[in-house]
Amino acid sequence: MSVPLFFVTEPLIGLTGITLDEENSKHAVQVLRLKMGNVVELTDGKGHVATASIVDDNRKRCRVAVQQIQSIPKPSRQITLAISLLKNRNRFEWLLEKVTELGVATIIPLLCERIEKESARLERMQSILQSALLQSRQVWLPELTEPQDFKAIKKWKLQEGDHFIATCNDVAKQLLSSLAMTSKKNVLICIGPEGDFTDDELKIATENNFMAVSLGASRLRIETAGIVAVSLLAC
């Protein structure tokens, strides 16, 4: 049985002990029935994982003593997924969970022409990312940005690397699967809304050195396209 892993908001480096918040304390003591002396692991989502032991099994303020802290390097390829918001929030939240499990580095919710203006519940989304991080036992929490207007792409703070835009439109494009193995360290992939990006949006992307790509012969749901794209790039 694996050692229970908990997410903490405090940076772990330099800590010798920490009191878990009430939710984590309840889960540790009442659900997992952990007691004094039991070993747990902690991560701050910034590449650090700590081995700790419980020194106070209070169900509201469980205290642990940190024994060892490891620093785990970032994945060799940093993947940014810029993807259209969905009307169906459950589908978008499912997407967040799956791409976190796959190791995406950054998620940019997109506001595109062919979607109604959607409100983004960032606090709820952040909670989903943290849960997915723990479930997949990873230690790098994806960065979740504020929703970005796709047409303001020039204002995005883009890292150097390969920038792709997935489309089903009849434009010159290459298969992402054929480019994935030779892509650079930093990769950004854009996924549009149902109905795809507009011609104007594709023109803006091309003018900003985005390469049009195809995810394959099938027309995919937005959330499926996001997962397929990240899967291909994470290989």
Question: Rounded to an integer, what distance in angstroms lies between the CA atom of residue 230 and that of residue 235?
Answer: 9
Q: Is 22 helix (H, G, I), strand (E, B) or coil?
A: helix
Model's pTM, two decimal places? 0.92
Sequence length of the chain is: 235
Q: What is the dihedral of CA 183, 77, 98, 129, to 10 degrees?
A: -140
Q: Are 132 and 102 in contact (CB under 8 A)?
A: no
| Buried-exposed string 37-70: b where 16+ CB fall within 10 A, e elsewhere | ebebbbbbbebbbbebebeebeeeebbbebeebe
Q: What is the pLDDT of residue 115?
A: 82
The domains located in the chain, with CATH, are 5-71 (2.40.240.20), 78-234 (3.40.1280.10)
pLDDT in tens, the chain (235 residues): 689 999 999 999 999 999 999 999 999 999 999 999 999 999 999 999 999 999 999 999 999 999 999 999 998 899 999 999 998 889 999 999 999 999 999 999 999 988 876 667 889 999 999 999 999 999 999 999 999 999 888 777 777 889 999 999 888 899 999 988 877 789 999 999 989 999 999 999 999 999 999 998 888 999 999 999 999 998 7
- Percent of the chain at pLDDT exceeding 90: 78
Which token pair is 121?
């519940």
Alpha helix (H) ranges present in the chain? Answer: 22-26, 89-102, 122-135, 176-179, 199-207, 222-234
Q: Are 41 and 135 in contact (CB under 8 A)?
A: no
Q: Which residues contact 90 (CB under 8 A, 6 or more apart)?
A: none
